[in-house]
Amino acid sequence: MRFLARLDLHRAATELAERFGPLVRIRVMCFHCVIITDPVLATEVLRSRAADKMRLIYSFLDPFLGGKSLLTGHTDEHWKTVRKAVSPAFSQGNMRDAFGHVLDCTMALVEFLKEGGPERVHNIDNLLLRESMDVIGRFGLGKDMNALASLKTGNAEETRAVDALLGSTKEVSKRVQQYGRWWGLWSANVRGGWEDLGRFRAIIQGLLDHIKAGQPRPGSFGQLLLAARDPATGRALSDAQLFPEIAALFFAGIDTTGHTGTFILYLISQHPEVEAKILEELDSMELSITSERPRPRPLTYPDLPKLTYLQAVIKEVLRMYPPVGGGQMTMSQSHDITLANRLVIPAGTAIWVPHHAIQNVSFNWDQPNAFMPERWLVPGTEYAVTEKLPLPRGWYTEPDADVAAGTDGVPSHGAAGGTDVDESGNSKRPKRYFPFAEGPRNCVGQSLAKVSLLVTTATLLQHFSFRLADEMGGPEGVRASERYPLVIGLANGMSMHAIPRPGVT
């Protein structure tokens, strides 16, 4: 199907949902797939124990990541062991430590932008990817990547680290769209892709060697990963098992946070009224830089939950541009899955829950194309709204409605006895907002992403106002350059001016 070959697959899925509704069945040769954008059914699928990640779809990442990982593997005993082992790395206590790393890295970015002046055009996307790389290296693995510093020092090896990451993700995307591409070694383009993958793998091998040779900070991702034990042997994980986990952290933590930060600055630049409210919030906390206050008090970790409006802005950006906009593809090979006690999905049928579509279709949201941070000032915005549920009401009724319904009256359908639905740690209310996925396969590092986005945005907006460069072609040009290789990004980054605020020296 032509829409599957689109470079902006996240938009294609959203358009498909708008045209055909919350349940769509497609067939590509002998491959059957059900696309679900109804929030109740989507929540049920994502929380399901019966459906697991479809390895056929995710295996294309194996050459990139070096094998199965938390990102791509089945939810088997090995996956559960590793997930349990590394989860404490992203605890609330560790986020205080992460805060310091993020602030230091962002201030390094601030200094770089100040030196460029207001007339210089920066690829903000590339710079934020570098900042994210520095944060992940320092916080997760105890390694200074110097991705930002290398722009000043001219260290070619460190400078190329971001290029290797970007090149590798583009190469993997091309391999999905061009079957058999990896064999075309007579093409300089294909050989360049292999070289990018080789450089990326060399970076990951260097990180693995680093944590094994040193003593990672107790409680860090690197230390916890080294302490994990293979459930099959009871021994420490082998290098072949460690490598893909480090690669997955490196890729997922950098690509998603960096690109999201870019969209945050872009949307704020297009809405001066939003920027004014953010500055008002910063000023109320004595955090804004002005001519009268060139040195405000420093941002602290306890300040973060008080940045209410800025958090709403970030949530709205994550709604419009969820990092993994294509969502999740799951399947049950062993038995049929029944949703809402009436929709039977046969074993072997793929179930696609596209996050961008769920978060941007008109039957789930009012004015989905409008950038409205204020909607997140209303508690419970992430949950499905009864009046907007797109399927006939019969789909949302169960005999034991009092038990099945959430606190807002929206039922949360599950198999009898909860056999197929994992509700532990989750509200029973169905959601329409999945920026970090949902259920047992949700993003293990989402707490770090939230801290990073909040600290980075607040610090950058303290110092600068950002303006889209003319070469981007305005919002239409940005829209046309959207790409979905592995996460939502842009074809050639985001060109912007960083204009220092009065008082910034």
- Would you kindly state where each structural domain of the chain is located, as residue ranges? 2-500
Assess contact for 188 and 163: CB atoms under 8 A.
no
Give me the DSSP letters along 153-180: H--HHHHHHHHHHHHHHHHHHHHHHSTT
- At 1 the pLDDT is 58
* Termini Cα distance of the chain: 54
What is the assigned CATH class of domain 2-500? mainly alpha
Cα(129)–Cα(254) distance, rounded to whole angstroms?
Answer: 6
Phi, psi for 497 (deg, rounded to 5): -100, 140
The neighbouring-strand residues paired with 337 are 345
Cα(92)–Cα(237) distance, rounded to whole angstroms?
Answer: 26
- At 233 the pLDDT is 97
The pLDDT profile of the chain, 505 residues, written as one tens digit per residue, is: 577 678 899 999 999 999 999 999 998 778 899 999 999 999 999 998 888 988 878 888 888 899 999 999 999 999 999 999 999 999 999 999 999 999 999 999 999 999 999 999 999 999 999 999 999 999 999 999 999 999 988 887 777 888 888 888 778 777 766 767 767 778 888 888 888 889 999 999 999 999 999 889 999 999 999 999 999 999 999 999 999 999 999 899 999 999 999 999 999 999 999 999 999 999 999 999 998 898 899 999 999 999 999 999 999 999 999 999 999 889 988 899 999 888 999 999 999 999 999 999 999 999 999 999 999 999 999 999 999 999 998 898 653 333 333 333 333 333 323 333 344 444 689 999 999 999 999 999 999 999 999 999 999 999 999 999 999 999 999 999 999 888 999 999 999 999 999 999 8
The neighbouring-strand residues paired with 32 are 27
- At 414 the pLDDT is 35
| Cβ-Cβ contacts under 8 Å for 258 (sequence gap 6 or more) | 125, 128, 129, 130, 131, 132, 133
pTM over 0.85: yes
- At 192 the pLDDT is 86
**3-state secondary structure at position 445:** coil
Farthest CA pair distance, the chain: 68
Assess contact for 208 and 242: CB atoms under 8 A.
yes
Rg over alpha carbons for the chain, rounded to the nearest Å, is 23
Q: What would the two tokens of residue 89 be?
A: 């790395």
**3-state secondary structure at position 452:** helix
